[in-house]
Chain A
Amino acid sequence: MNIVRLTIAFLLVLCACRQENISDFSPSIVVDGSIENGNFPRVFLTRNIPYYVKIDSADFQKLVIRQAKVTVSDGEQSEILTLKYDKHLFPPFYYQGNELLGKAGNTYTLTIEYDSAILTATTTIPYPVKPDSVWFQSNTVNPDKGLIMVKLKDDPDSANYYRMCTRIEGKQYDYYPTLNSVFSDRWFNGQTTILELNKGPETYLDMGNEDFFYAKNDTIWLKVCALDKINFDFWNSYRNEVANGANPIASSYHTINSNINGNGLGIWGGFGITIIRVIAK
């Protein structure tokens, strides 16, 4: 019966309690910051929230950070951003500059100081890209709805990344990314390509009435953004996670490529923008 004893001993060794390395929630500062050429930098600061949660407006107030010191510098000048309020945005409080405007080709550093934590990040603003043409294309099935088509020529000498956002005049206050919003020039480097854009949801939290198409007779403002690779990696992984994160068939390894240094999440990104008005007809 030595075998039996040996087996039991072996089994006990295997059973020896092993704590899985389950990490608990740890609070971080979330940065949603951007700077565009010709515009002041804008930074939203919030906190992350734990696991399964149910919160109401009172809790929401606590999520927004309103007492941080937010500084943006281009290497020569720097400015401390001031807190602003706009009820149309979410979150409604944000930090914005008043003097330092974004300029294509520059590098901008963001520094956030809050509650003994210091976060930093850098980004660049690439030169804006102007598409050859932009137009509205009706659906064959339902001509009252359609897509926005963008024809542009890619610069063959560099790796280029694009992000598309739209704002529907009279119906939307801010720009929202299109359904497929981020593009890399990997497969059309140096070529002229046509991108098809579906209207993206304002938020994936509430998509009940969303039909992903632009409506005829609307005036749509298209913002064509050029961004650098780091910024692109964030928004690319962001789009993947937001659209596919809950789908076990699509997602495999979740990472959002944040560029914030320190105990922070999120992005500080520069955009070289071109704004075009499209009338859907």
Chain B
Amino acid sequence: MVLKQPILPYLKIITSGLLLILFVSYCKSQNNSELYKIYGTITDSAGTTLLASATVIDKKTNVVANSNADGVYQISLSYGEHELQYSFIGYKNVTLSLNVSSDQLINVKLTPESIRIKEVIIDARSSTIQNVGTGTIELNKKEVGTLPLFLGESDFYKALQLMPGVQLSGEGNAAIYVRGGGYDQNLILLDGATVYNPTHLLGFFSVFNTDIINNVTMTKSGIPAEYGNRISSVLDFNTKSSIPEQLTINGNLGIISSGLNIDLPVFKHRGAFFLAGRKTYLNTLLDGCRDLGFIKHNSILYKTRYDFYDLNGSFVLKLSSRDRIMLSSYQGNDLFVLNSGVVDLHTDMSWGNQIASLSWNHSFTDRLYMENQLVKSDYSLKMQLDQNQFQFHLRSNINDVGFKNRITYVFKNHKIRMGIALIRHNIVPNTSNAKTDSLDYSFGTPNNYHSYEMSVFVSDEIKLTSKLSVIAGFRFNSFYHVGPFGDYTSTDTTYYGKGQIIKNYHGPDYRFSARYLVSGDASVKLSFNSNNQYVNLVNASSVTFPTDFWIPASTLVQPQKGNQWAAGYYKNIKRFNIEASVEIYYKTFANQIEFNKGILNSVDNTPLDQNLIFGRGRAYGCELLIRKPSGKLNGWIGYTISRTEKSFLEIENGRWFPAKYDRPHDVSVVTNFQFSQKWTFSAVFVYATGSAYTPVVGRYFVGNNLLNQYGNYNSARMPDYHRLDIAATHVLKKTDKIYSCLIFSVYNVYNRHNPFFEYPEATGNLDRYTLKVEPKEVSIFPILPSISWQFKF
């Protein structure tokens, strides 16, 4: 007792000193080189809804992690103090300060924000810098929801077209072209199942109903090894899967289409049903436009009828804390009727997709995660032509069934992904028959291609240092064309039996990317990828029309191959809250396909692959993006300068000519301004160089008719395309339970007649020796205002 008082202070000092020495030496031995895992689940405040793809950012090191589909996150942090911010769209952020000295389990609950049109997600800012891949774009529902896209309908697919590197397709053209790649070089997935035709006629709407889509990730370069069979990009759409707290109904009522979406939790919040439907009544609008004189006589809309519907349904069930299953399906159909007065011809066309995907996700541990998917995609096109007693039918079909497996394993500084994919394709590129009252024409046996695609892949994302991360991926593909099949030439036919292998192709895909953090808010990235593509689209008309054919690799059709090199610089300018990036790319393509004959010539069932010519392509360009993702004023400006060329021996002896969709300059400006709690205004302006076409340079007479003499292939340009759209959103009512707003929008504000196509109209009288040939332009969409009402309860 007596000793305590004099010794205690000394003891304290010595102990503190010892502890200090121990602490310092311990710190030094740590040296920030060892990382600890902070992990857990992120849920809503009730703890029942798992928040998938929520973001966790360490404000100290700018390390980012996302929760997976089951709401489980894991972030690796160095020893010491950190500040973690957890965020998720629609919820208030949560920030935790913690002192990291070991692995820790931290479950986080987030409180919902009251419902209102929110500013765009802010956390994308950090992740673009961090993300090891070049050319990646992510869009979520809130970003897309305020854009004044066509006639008051917001649309993910159309929003992607406003990004640099994604070429504006122009009037009536539904296709997207990513960095000079053809339309078929984009892998478009809905919950893992391939979507062969993602738009409705003339690109009005896509099949992706915004109500049911949660997000989309688009990858323009450095395609991850887990995606195969496409060489230019991947558009990975995911439907909603997080279980809602209660029954939610939202919908919109517009002047040309309406939709309804229902989210229903079941089994005590262990599962949920999601249903969404949309239908157009475009015909009423067309009639109105015609009567008011908005649609001119030379417009292709003058005598058309058009209708479509989309129906999505999905079911999610959490079997256990480690298992989740999801069944998602989509069905849609388009119907188009054209009446031609000249020859009394009546054309009916219908086409549609039927897609289903069943997935089972299982977490073995916090580090080991597996996803299994069974997918089915059906696409069909039917066309019927009637003229008097003459009837002609054409159909084409694709039926895919497949299985995909992906395993993710995270340990130390590695994130390893591996898996397999097996897909069976059954493709009928075109089959036709004709008949009259008395006769049935024979056009030979339909071409039906059966093929199998089998792949195995592995990739690893490695954090080499705190600044340098790389991804290396490898995928090995095998593709088989099997019987039954009849190989027709004009004199001979070889028959292959069921399952007999007719032709096979093997090929590796490679991917390599590296990201170097120049500073906390800037990075430099490089990537290279080499891919094979086994199912290709043949563009059979001058516009993208549903009559384009998909054809698989076979004896005469080799797989397409593509190589891409890309590099980019990414910077966040925090002072102005801006994300900026510059990316350059160079791509080469082999085994590109062109169709050698007019489509109406091929209706005799000549095997399609005997009408094709093959060549090569190349594309290069530079993309600039300046994005302000949050604030009262937000949006982005994108500018792409690029060149896409092709060369075929049969076309002018292999001279390099610009691809039809080569648009050297492509500008998109998107702005959103939240004026007040009730009003938001937005505007979109797009500009692109006109697309290329083959001009007519001369004419001549043969057999009482005037024939066109064509100039060099694709050597002329259509007039430049530009357009301004504006929209205003007025919130009528917003409470925690109910939300309703009116959207006023105007498409093509200054009524520019962007030409759909140009043709020479020749009129004359051979008896009186007069002739006049004039250019005629056909355009489709004049200024189109619209109002729609959106509600949610």
Report A's interface with B, CB cutoff 8 A.
3, 7, 10-11, 14-15, 20-26, 28, 30, 32, 44, 46-57, 60, 63, 90-91, 139-141, 159, 176-177, 184, 186-188, 194, 196, 202-207, 212, 236, 238, 240-242, 244-254, 256, 265-267
Contact = CB atoms under 8 A, between A and B. Distances in A.
Contact of B596 (A22, A46, A253): A253
A24 B712 CA distance: 9
Contact of B707 (A50, A236, A238): A238
B267 interface: no
11 contacts: A14-B622, A20-B658, A26-B698, A55-B772, A57-B769, A186-B606, A187-B604, A203-B766, A248-B543, A253-B595, A265-B709
A24 B543 CA distance: 25
B702 A30 contact: yes
Given A139-B389, A205-B764, A3 B772 contact: no
A204 B701 contact: no
A242 B764 CA distance: 15
Contacts of B436: 196
Contacts of B411: none
B23 interface: no
B541 interface: yes
Contacts of B642: 14
Contacts of B760: 52, 246
A242 B344 CA distance: 18
B547 A249 contact: yes
A249 B698 CA distance: 22
A10 B622 contact: yes
Contact of A249 (B541, B772, B774): B541
Given A48-B698, A252-B540, A22 B771 contact: no
Contacts of A187: 441-444, 604-605
B541 A15 contact: no
A245 B605 CA distance: 21
A133 B164 CA distance: 65
Interface string B615-651: 0000011101000000000000000011100000001
A24 B697 contact: yes
Given A20-B658, A246-B760, A56 B715 contact: no
B736 interface: no
Nearest to B488: A186
B380 interface: no
B710 A204 contact: no
A30 B151 CA distance: 51
Interface in B526-554: 539-543, 545, 547
Contacts of A202: 704
B4 interface: no
A3 B569 contact: yes
A57 B770 contact: yes
Contacts of A139: 388-389
A252 B696 contact: no
B542 to A, nearest CB: 4
A206 B624 CA distance: 52
B697 A252 contact: no
Given A48-B700, A60-B769, A242-B707, A188 B622 contact: no
- Contact size range, B: 35 or more
A251 B388 CA distance: 24
Interface in B368-402: 388-390
A90 B599 contact: no
Interface in B688-706: 694-706
Nearest to B390: A196
B704 A48 contact: no
Interface in B704-741: 704-712, 715-717
B447 to A, nearest CB: 14
Contacts of A205: 705-706, 762-766, 771
B600 interface: yes
Contacts of A177: 703
A98 B658 CA distance: 51
Nearest to B761: A246
A25 B697 contact: yes
B598 interface: yes
B601 interface: yes
B307 interface: no
A176 B704 CA distance: 9
Contacts of B621: 14
B763 A206 contact: yes
Contacts of A51: 696-699, 773
Which of B657, B703, B768 has the most chain A CB within a 10 Å cutoff? B703
Contacts of A47: 700
Contact of A252 (B541, B582, B655, B695): B541
4 closest Cβ pairs, A-B complex: A57-B769, A248-B542, A48-B700, A246-B759
A253 B699 contact: no
Nearest to A18: B643
B702 A32 contact: yes
A45 to B, nearest CB: 10
Nearest to A196: B436
Given A53-B699, A245-B708, A194 B343 contact: no
B437 interface: yes
B766 A90 contact: yes
B439 interface: yes
B46 interface: no
A244 B771 contact: no
Contacts of A24: 697
Contacts of B759: 245-248
